[in-house]
Structure 1
Amino acid sequence: MIDTRIRYQPATVTAPGETLADLLEEQCMTQTELAHRMGRPVKTINEIIKGKAAITPETALQLEKVFTTPAAYWLNHEAHYRAYLARRNEDDDLAAWHNWLDRHPLKELKTLDILPDLYSRGKNKNILLRRLLHFFGVASPTEWENFYGNMKTAYRRNKDQSDPYATAAWLRLGELQAASASCAPFDRQRFDAALHEIRTFTLLPPEDFEPRLKALCAATGVIVALVPAIPRARVSGAARWLNNRPLIQLSLYGKTNDRFWFTFFHEACHILKHSHKLVYLDELDGDPSEPEEQEADRFAANLLIPPEYAAELPTLRSKEAVRTFAGHIGVHPGIVVGRLQHDNEIEKSWMNDLKATFTWRETPVG
């Protein structure tokens, strides 16, 4: 779970050299005397007091012997001071990236409790920027551009009208779920065979099919991540490989069961048949031109409604006929309605009450 609490960061941190100078004053000891007691050059002591030289482990042990102040105290003090200086310098560097921050789906990430609920202005911008970098697991916006920005070259999608920052955020949510998921080594044959059992899950409500879907896929080596849609990403599903583990990531973009299940089986085809090096991003209602996307569409359509039954589809002109046909082939009636609408056998507004609508029960964040 991502921690969005805002931890206290002091505005200033006293340099260890200042503490040492105060200690010398209390002890009525000069820098020269301290240098002699430690066996160090006076110049070194002076540079430590001025903050020009760091307190090393060797120096900390020497100070411990002279003042009986634990070496760990001096090392922790030095570490905190150096972190403070680094953060102060980073604040100046991050200021140049404030416009970049605003390109990301901040509102949605706040809703998902990824980012703290702060207005994106003033000092808050650096707080949000650091949290965003932590969320993505990168050290700076430059690394984000090198990693997630360049990832666009690996995208294969049936339509490219998305926002790359929203898409990257949605994919990252899937990465976080996958990182905490356990699964068996990938077994292509077992996964292919499991798809026919998964097809029967179309008859179940989400609270029943979700755990079974994830468990069955994990047993065959495939991770399934359900991630809320981020509007500008315009993605219904994705298929990719992470650290040699296949991931199918699904949103509720479209919200109906016909779209959900078509997308799942579409992504399953990518896992079974296509490149391990590409990220397949799919949006329903797109116009796939890539051969791989066309193949995945055929795979999903034929698995849900086998070709030997397809000839009956134009004859289904009533809800009762759809229900009977769906019961005969063993899928939810909404699947059949979605296919009829896609094939232009019926209007898009017809029989939608036969579909099931899915909504998020809770926020499934990594």
Structure 2
Amino acid sequence: MTEPARLFQPDWVSPPGDTIADLLEEKGWSQAEFAQRCGYTTKHVSLLINGKASITEDTALKLERVLGSSARFWLVREAQYRETIARQAELENLEADADWLKQLPLADMINFGWIRKFKSKGQQVAECLQFFGVSSVEGWQKQYAEPLAAFKASTKFDKNGAAVSAWLRQGERLASEIACQPYDKAKFRQALVELRALTNETDPDVFIPKMIDTCARAGVAVVFEPAPKGCPVNGATKWLSTDKALLMLSLRYKTNDHLWFAFFHEAGHILLHGKKMLFLETRGLDDEHEQEADRFASDLLIPPKFAKQLRFLDKTYAAIEAFAKEVGVAPAIIVGRMQKEGYLPWTHLNKFKISYRWINE
């Protein structure tokens, strides 16, 4: 999980002039005497003390000679003051964007540890903008909302775009922490062949690190992250650059047969389809690209020569286990495929399936 940056942002504002005034009092100088020592007018000194005139490099050098503190101290003091003033003004402006928060799955984003919770609406908006890596709600619209709207327009996808954008953004953040070799199509194909045998491993603490490491060597960042409310997505693929792809899974259906099919389905998108395309997997999507990815996953997990035998396979635990061993995949994958094809009722032989859940569920 990506830990949000912890920034100290005081809500009090103390101009550098307060420090100047304290030093004048300590030295017993009037503003007029101080002005004379600095070569300034008393009016300019008054503006400095009230924070209405900025401390420039030249002023900082004079303050260093007259008051004794370093020029760097005065410049840093001035910069901190101006930054605080700017932040306060920005937070006031961001209050006007508070309605945007209603679009986001804010409760889950906080519970999942993606962002921090703030009482101030302005601070909460600022926190969410930082999460998305944009400077404004308009920037979020262009970077996330508009591409998702285009995807929705070209498919039957009608889910909450803001919730989906939050999930995808968390995937981007986690993927940035995965060091990947430049994408290599041949290496990725070979990686999938290697990972097919891993379907027999039932412990996610074992197979997930292997998935991540194997795919990273081929230029693909694999990320597992739960989906927030309003984002009923099972998986997604997105190119982060020309040589790094994101393959993201939410474990929505929580069994090993679904997990592995979703993984190889998303891998199919990466291998078969364009680098400028975004793919989101949910029920009801059935366009040409989805059908191609489905065939890719189906044929890789259970090659056609074996798939032809499923119709005639004895519907017993012993027969399924023996056939799965021959094919080289987990028995749950055989059961899941037979159920999908209508060769086996959805209620039968489900003991082969391994269920998973997120720790925070």
Q: Do the two structures share a fold, i.e. TM-score over 0.5? A: yes
Report 1:155-234 matches (<5 A).
Answer: 155=151, 159-205=156-202, 206-234=204-232
- Alpha-carbon offset, residue 175 of structure 1: 0.8
Say how many residue pairs are matched: 357
> Contact between 2:24 and 2:31, CA under 8 Å: does it hold in 1?
yes
- Alpha-carbon offset, residue 294 of structure 1: 1.4
CA distance in 2, matches of 1:48, 1:192: 67
CA distance in 2, matches of 1:8, 1:268: 42
CA distance change for structure 1 residues 264 and 114 in 2, over 3 Å: closer, same or farther? Answer: same
SS of the residue 2:347 aligns to: coil
CA distance in 1, matches of 2:161, 2:130: 18
The residue aligned with 1:64 is 64
User: Which letter does structure 2 place at the counterpart of 1:68?
Assistant: G
The residue aligned with 2:48 is 48
> Contact between 2:315 and 2:344, CA under 8 Å: does it hold in 1?
no
Q: Which string of whole-angstrom CA distances, capped at 9 and with x for unpartnered residues, describes residues 228-260 of structure 1? A: 222321111111111331121111110111111
CA distance in 1, matches of 2:360, 2:178: 18
The residue aligned with 1:355 is 353
> Contact between 2:95 and 2:125, CA under 8 Å: does it hold in 1?
no
> Contact between 1:194 and 1:217, CA under 8 Å: does it hold in 2?
yes
CA distance change for structure 1 residues 215 and 2 in 2, over 3 Å: closer, same or farther? Answer: closer
CA distance in 1, matches of 2:5, 2:190: 45
The residue aligned with 1:248 is 247
CA distance in 2, matches of 1:91, 1:315: 67
The residue aligned with 1:82 is 82
> Contact between 1:188 and 1:272, CA under 8 Å: does it hold in 2?
yes
Higher mean Cα deviation, 222-231 or 341-350? 341-350
Identity in percent: 40
CA distance in 2, matches of 1:111, 1:90: 26
CA RMSD in angstroms comes to: 2.5
CA distance in 2, matches of 1:326, 1:249: 27
SS of the residue 2:280 aligns to: strand
1:125 corresponds to 2:121: yes
Question: Which consecutive unaligned segments of at least 5 residues does structure 2 have?
Answer: none
CA distance change for structure 1 residues 55 and 3 in 2, over 3 Å: closer, same or farther? Answer: farther
User: Which letter does structure 1 place at the counterpart of 2:266?
Assistant: E
- Alpha-carbon offset, residue 22 of structure 1: 4.1
The residue aligned with 1:282 is 281
- Alpha-carbon offset, residue 351 of structure 1: 2.4
Question: Which consecutive unaligned segments of at least 5 residues does structure 1 have?
Answer: none
Higher mean Cα deviation, 268-277 or 143-152? 143-152
User: Which letter does structure 1 place at the counterpart of 2:337?
Assistant: R
CA distance in 2, matches of 1:107, 1:143: 22
| 1:301 paired residue among 298, 303, 308 | 298
Identify which of structures 1 and 2 has the higher relative contact order when contacts are C-alpha pairs closer than 8 Å and 6+ apart: 1
CA distance in 1, matches of 2:112, 2:331: 33
The residue aligned with 2:148 is 152
TM (normalized to structure 1)?
Answer: 0.88
CA distance in 1, matches of 2:290, 2:5: 42
- Alpha-carbon offset, residue 316 of structure 1: 3.1
TM (normalized to structure 2)?
Answer: 0.90
| 1:340 paired residue among 333, 338, 341 | 338
CA distance change for structure 1 residues 287 and 340 in 2, over 3 Å: closer, same or farther? Answer: farther
> Contact between 2:167 and 2:227, CA under 8 Å: does it hold in 1?
yes
Q: Which string of whole-angstrom CA distances, capped at 9 and with x for unpartnered residues, describes residues 59-86 of structure 1? A: 1111010110222332222122212211
User: Which letter does structure 2 place at the counterpart of 1:306?
Assistant: P
- Alpha-carbon offset, residue 264 of structure 1: 0.9
